[in-house]
Structure 1
Amino acid sequence: MNYRKLTLRSLTKHAVMLALSLFAVFPFYWMIISSFRTEAEMYSSALWPKHWTWDNYADVWRMIPMLDMLGNSTAMSVAQTFFQLGTAILAAYAFSRWTFPGSRVLFLMFALTWLIPFQVTMIPNYVTISAWGWRNTLQGLIAPNLVSAFAIISMTQSFKAFPKGITEAALLDGASSWSILWRMYVPNMKASIASLGILLFINSWNEYFWPLLLTNKLENTVIQIGLQMFMSSDGNAWGPLMAAAVITSVPILAVYLMLQRQIVDSFVKMGLK
């Protein structure tokens, strides 16, 4: 009897999880399917198009400089993720390892900057970037987001969970702080670093307001601005828009598939804590 109850409970849980998964995946499925629909079938409620077409993808490459935009988005996202992870690792190591005068105040200041919306600092950043002559440039897109308070806070909490006894033993053996960081902390925190890295990459990839403010040339902007080109007051080009959205989603999916194991391991460890 207990076995039957357990089986029924397990089946119920899996049914709920399956329903939620379908609910989450269906919009992505609809986006892909709509990208292959003809204009006549765009408003059809059918789950499978009667006539498949590649015209929407051809229109995307014809209407906007997709390759330039994808290159700009990739370069911006990779650079920002690299620098944000690097500064987060160094700052988290300092905050978790050493207690120095003003360390709590300094960490609190980092935390407070996370609460300030980027829209508040956009204008000062724009004035500075313009004075440097970096408008419509890749370095102008990257520079204001080289450091992430969210990344520093998250990494600090992960580093604080690292056993201090191992660190002290390494110090007694003559290891330097730099060696301890890269030979002990980083290898044992790969899951946390990978999960944080993909979050930072996605956040950078989806950036919209700053590129919109800084760039006015399509070949110098990012793919998120390109998606807006298919939406107008006269009517939305749904077919090309869905095709562009599919192309935009591919790099994110590729990053997730490459780091899937580390991300899952990180979430499991977080759940166990």
Structure 2
Amino acid sequence: MSFVTVTTPALAAAPRPSAARRQGEEDIAVASRSRVGTVIGHLVLVLLAVFSVFPVYWMFATALRAPENALDQTLLPWPLSLENFAYVWDTIPIGSMLVNTFVMALTLATAQLLIAVLAAYGFAVWNFAGRKLLMFLFIGSWLVPFQVTMIPNYVLVSQMGLLGTIGGVVVPQLAGAFAVLLMVQHMRAFPRELIEAAHLDGRSSWATLWSVVVPNMRPALAALGIMAFISAWNEYLWPTLIMRQSDALLQVGVRSFLSAEGNNWGATMAAAGLACVPVLLIYIFLQRYVVDAFVRSGLK
């Protein structure tokens, strides 16, 4: 008996994509997902920007309407009118109020910068007994609400005879815990080798601070100065509590258009718009220092 072996031809194997082709397809998929994520991220940022800017736009839109049309809900104010700005200029001394507010905010920002630099240099560079305890107290003072310290500060200002003066607004806020904490972070990132080299050259700690450390921290100082200035400029509750005259500071003067008899919203928005202009200009011209400070987070 003989056996006949029948061989069937093998099925042709399906061609497999090469490794380079698979890698290319994966790269295309990753790039596609990346583009979709980028588009979604930009859309979210645009929506947040519109949401943030719209109140400012509505303020100027209301200020540019005619007084009888101040409560209109149209997005575009038409016809445009400057009557509200003229009324504000004639009703309150807006020029002197801008100057007084600028002096107050600049004084506060300068004082907070100076105290923050000195305190941060001590906390970051020097080793002394009780340093951690003092740092903890600074952090704790930052967490205390302003309403808790408002009455003790008011009594202190009254005993000092500063009620109704710009000094009464400035004195309790000369030191800022946030300013100290921010400067401490930048001081700790500063190279210790430069400080030690300055000491080896015979410079004192005071000279090292102002000739070596401070010149290399201009972006951080500019960012902190801008934030302190804007915070002081926008302060409303404390100046309203201290100032007895409504024509001294801009924050208090804006309130004069709001009364129990009726609210002049057009004039209020015009005065608020004039109050926003200096801050907007300062930020436009100095914004690169703020960005540089937060990107670098100190000198590496």
Same fold (TM over 0.5): yes
Tell me the TM-score normalized by structure 2: 0.84
Give the equivalent residue in structure 1 for 2:20. none
Structure 1 residues 67-114: Cα deviation after superposition (integer angstroms, max 9, x where no partner): 232222111100010011000001100110111111111222222222
Of the candidates 206, 223, 232, which is equivalent to residue 250 of structure 2? Answer: 223
Partner letter of residue 120 of structure 1? V
Q: Does 1:237 align with 2:257?
A: no
Decide which moves more: 101-110 or 82-91: 101-110
- Name structure 2 gaps, 5 residues minimum: 1-27
Partner letter of residue 142 of structure 2? W
Give aligned-pair identity as a percent: 43
Query: How far apart are 1:56 and its partner, in Å?
Result: 0.2
Decide whether the 8 Å contact of 1:134 with 1:140 is kept in 2.
yes
Question: How is 1:150-165 mapped onto 2 (pairs within 5 angstroms)?
Answer: 150-165=178-193
Tell me the TM-score normalized by structure 1: 0.92
Question: How is 1:28-39 mapped onto 2 (pairs within 5 angstroms)?
Answer: 28-39=56-67
Q: Using the alignment, how far apart are the partners of 1:71 and 1:133 within structure 2?
A: 23
Decide whether the 8 Å contact of 1:208 with 1:224 is kept in 2.
yes
Of the candidates 82, 90, 97, which is equivalent to residue 110 of structure 2? Answer: 82
Decide whether the 8 Å contact of 1:65 with 1:218 is kept in 2.
no
Q: Does 1:262 align with 2:294?
A: no
Q: Using the alignment, how far apart are the partners of 2:158 and 2:68 within structure 1?
A: 46
Structure 1 residues 218-263: Cα deviation after superposition (integer angstroms, max 9, x where no partner): 233x211122222223332111111011101011112212211110
Q: Using the alignment, how far apart are the partners of 2:53 and 2:251 within structure 1?
A: 21
Of the candidates 279, 294, 297, which is equivalent to residue 252 of structure 1? Answer: 279
Partner letter of residue 32 of structure 1? F
Decide whether the 8 Å contact of 1:129 with 1:140 is kept in 2.
yes
Q: Using the alignment, how far apart are the partners of 1:63 and 1:119 within structure 2?
A: 32
Partner letter of residue 39 of structure 1? P
Query: How far apart are 1:199 and its partner, in Å?
Result: 1.3
Query: How far apart are 1:122 and its partner, in Å?
Result: 2.6
> Which one scores higher on RCO, CA 8 angstroms, separation ≥ 6?
1
Give the equivalent residue in structure 2 for 1:24. 52
Partner letter of residue 201 of structure 1? F
Q: Using the alignment, how far apart are the partners of 2:212 and 2:95 within structure 1?
A: 40
Partner letter of residue 223 of structure 1? L
Decide which moves more: 65-74 or 238-247: 65-74
Residue 179 of structure 2 aligns to a residue whose secondary structure is helix
Decide whether the 8 Å contact of 2:88 with 2:270 is kept in 1.
yes
Q: Using the alignment, how far apart are the partners of 1:82 and 1:259 within structure 2?
A: 16
Rg (Cα) greater in structure: 2
Partner letter of residue 122 of structure 1? M
Decide whether the 8 Å contact of 1:35 with 1:240 is kept in 2.
yes
Residue 218 of structure 1 aligns to a residue whose secondary structure is coil
Decide whether the 8 Å contact of 2:62 with 2:71 is kept in 1.
no
Q: Using the alignment, how far apart are the partners of 1:230 and 1:37 within structure 2?
A: 16
Q: Does 1:124 align with 2:152?
A: yes
Of the candidates 205, 218, 238, which is equivalent to residue 190 of structure 1? Answer: 218
Partner letter of residue 76 of structure 2? W
Decide whether the 8 Å contact of 1:227 with 1:244 is kept in 2.
yes
Decide whether the 8 Å contact of 2:240 with 2:251 is kept in 1.
no
Q: Using the alignment, how far apart are the partners of 2:185 and 2:33 within structure 1?
A: 40
Of the candidates 23, 26, 42, which is equivalent to residue 70 of structure 2? Answer: 42
Residue 229 of structure 1 aligns to a residue whose secondary structure is helix
Q: Using the alignment, how far apart are the partners of 1:56 and 1:208 within structure 2?
A: 22
Aligned residues: 272
Residue 100 of structure 1 aligns to a residue whose secondary structure is coil
Of the candidates 76, 82, 96, which is equivalent to residue 68 of structure 1? Answer: 96
Give the equivalent residue in structure 2 for 1:145. 173
- Name structure 1 gaps, 5 residues minimum: none
CA change 1:201–1:69 in 2 (3 A) is: same
Decide whether the 8 Å contact of 1:69 with 1:218 is kept in 2.
no
